[in-house]
Chain A
Amino acid sequence: MGYYGSRLTKATSATAVGFGSLEGSTSRRGRLAYFGGGSSTAPADNNIVFEIQRSTTTPTGTAVTPNAFDPADVAATCVVKENLTVQGTNTAGTVILSLPCNQKASVQWYALPGGEIVVPATANTGVHFNTPTAGGTPAITAVIHHIE
């Protein structure tokens, strides 16, 4: 199994369109093991809620090449996108993780072994990283680690 890191950014966050996505491939499942997020906008008292929600269609966004932590690993097959402009289809009632934080602050989530969020080995299906609440629409910078 390879361990991969990806940076997700969005200059102007939006409540209806997320800032990133992780989709499986037909050959391998993806396991989200880490999420760290915050704002790169100047400090202000705004509220941000980071949400990870399952999706069944691919969003439109900028492709990110996941960086293998071990240079000997093969390239990641899962698809990572940032700066989404068109949201994929989020499955109702499948918000897996909800992390509220202040724009001045940051929040990190670590999966313990066996607690990773697993996306199926199916193209275009995975999870979106959303900001359903983003006071002042601040810039978002996040990092995800996934295993496949």
Chain B
Amino acid sequence: MHFTRSARAGGYIVATTAEGKTVERDSISCAHCQRHVIIPPGPPRDDLFGTCWHCSKFICPPCAGLGTCTPWEKQLERIEARDRMLRSILG
């Protein structure tokens, strides 16, 4: 079966079923937490994903509920900066 990949996909799943069939699905990555949400077949559903109007990226519903824009890259920088600081203090 031909599978058309979504232009906004961040990944895709290939699963075999117990009956030996192969199923493919796209997954979209949340720009704030990197959670991958698997897109079900059928018409697009608005409840699966939100859009951050600050960074203009797709975000998952829990992140959309926070109402803030903290891209994962920024969170990584904070985690790494905190680690560098702790290592400089603790040696």
* Residues on A facing B (Cβ under 8 Å): 26, 29, 45, 93-97, 99, 101-102, 104-112, 114-115, 117-118, 120-123, 125
Contact = CB atoms under 8 A, between A and B. Distances in A.
A102 to B, nearest CB: 4
A114 B35 contact: no
Nearest to A99: B13
A106 B16 contact: yes
23 contacts: A26-B87, A93-B62, A95-B35, A96-B35, A97-B27, A99-B15, A101-B15, A105-B16, A106-B16, A107-B14, A109-B36, A110-B14, A111-B11, A112-B9, A112-B10, A115-B10, A115-B11, A117-B34, A120-B79, A121-B83, A122-B83, A123-B83, A125-B83
Interface in B1-58: 5, 9-18, 27, 29, 33-36
B76 interface: yes
Overall SS of chain B's interface: mixed
Interface of B: 5, 9-18, 27, 29, 33-36, 62, 72, 76, 79-80, 83, 87
A100 to B, nearest CB: 9
Contact of B79 (A95, A107, A125): A125
Contact of B13 (A104, A107, A121): A107
Nearest to B26: A112
A108 B14 CA distance: 5
B12 A120 contact: no
Contacts of B80: 120-122
Interface centre among B5, B11, B15, B72 (most CB of A within 10 A): B11
Contacts of A104: 18
B83 A109 contact: no
Contacts of A120: 76, 79-80, 83
